[in-house]
Amino acid sequence: MSTTWLPCSVYHQNYAQDHGWWQTRFIKGKMIALFIILFFVIPHFADEYWLSVFNQVGYTVLGALGVQLLIGYCGQITLGHAAFIAVGAYTSTLLILEFPWPKFMMDWGLAYPSSIIIAAIVAGIWSVLFGLPSARVKGFYLILTTMAAQFITVDFLITGYVSQIGGRGQAFSLPPGTIRVGPWVIDDDRKVYFMMIILVIICITCLVNLLRSRVGRAWVAIRDNDISAEVMGINIVKYKLFAFFVAGFIGGIAGSFWISNLAAISPEHFPWFWSLWLVGVILIGGVGSIHGTIFGSIFMVVVMEVLQLIVMQFVDTSWGERLFMDFLFLKEAAFGLAICVFMIFEPNGLAYRWWQTKNYFNLWPFSY
């Protein structure tokens, strides 16, 4: 029986088919088309402004993946994820600027790629330290613990001590040519875009495969009912801490990537609002869905950019100039309004709407 076009979804004969990435020729065609769009169409036809928007979307996806893992798949609430992104960013920056790499690693452009891996590990370990209370507390108390990570890491350690290394003051300058991957110098938005796409694909692929494994099933069991999971023999402390490590690891990659888009890095790039923003991204996109992470990131970034473009159209007027000066507050208000609207009218997020749309066409002509 052909499994390419079936009126009532897809017929599977074994477990491998049921968990296959691309289960039909139609899906394979869609993925090939997506590959062409991402690697050939967008880089060649988008201007510098829209490339920077796509880079912002990719950074948001990388940052929100860890939040999605903790909240959506393991049931551990976090409101301090920006701290682990900051740890990754500053670790990578210090390794590039201060660490005495062997000459061949500098000549071959291996310092920055190596710093990404080290920064991700450091951020993962730092995340585990603030995930330790999850062994004894949850809910509201865990929220306060993760918020403490933000204030201790960014406001105290990075602002007060790390930023002072080398006598630079509050900001670390990243001169042109500092970020290199092999022979390629990452010095414009198009090169940053290609690196972003590769990192996003790698992180999503690894996370999805991890969620399909025994570890992922344990996380979901803990999310649904941690007491029942423990009765079934799952070591909930071990798996909770591993979830914090993986979330921090991905956050460290996000921070390491983002320094390639900056001329200088400072603590102001990682405010507490960014942690709240990432939670809003998965709420709008859909909790417990990788698709939701992507959809939520696109929605939040594009909507805010469109809002800024609208404000710019009226900047010559008195009230338009006032709105432009107060755009940060307007952005926060729009963020809060978007959360309220989605919680009322689409509480399952954009991923659920995408799932319904796909089912409509998969079940056609019997869809209802």
Q: How confident is the model at residue 216 (pLDDT cuts 50, 70, 90)?
A: very high
Distance from C-alpha of 126 to C-alpha of 164, rounded to nearest angstrom: 20
DSSP letter string over 152-192? IIIIIIIHHTGGGGGG-TT-EE--TT--EETTEE--SHHHH
Q: pLDDT at residue 213 above 70?
A: yes
The answer to whether 283 and 146 have CB atoms below 8 angstroms apart is no
Instruction: Identify the sign of the CA torsion 137, 143, 146, 148.
Output: negative
Q: What integer pLDDT is reported at residue 56 of this predicted model? A: 96
Name the residue among 113, 120, 16, 110 with its Cα closest to residue 62: 120
pLDDT of residue 164: 79
Q: Are 271 and 264 in contact (CB under 8 A)?
A: no
* Confidence label for 1 from pLDDT (cuts 50, 70 and 90): very low
Can you name the residues that pair with 184 across neighbouring β-strands?
Answer: 181
Determine which helix (DSSP H) or strand (DSSP E) holds 236, and give its type and residue range.
helix 236-258
Query: Which of 345, 342, 243, 359 is closest to 295 using CA atoms?
Result: 342
Q: How confident is the model at residue 277 (pLDDT cuts 50, 70, 90)?
A: very high
Is the pTM here over 0.75, yes or no? yes
Looking up tokens 């996003």 gives 200
| Contact residues for 24 (Cβ-Cβ < 8 A; gap 6+) | 3, 4, 5, 10
Does position 361 have pLDDT exceeding 80, yes or no? no
Q: Is the dihedral of CA 24, 29, 32, 38 positive or negative?
A: negative
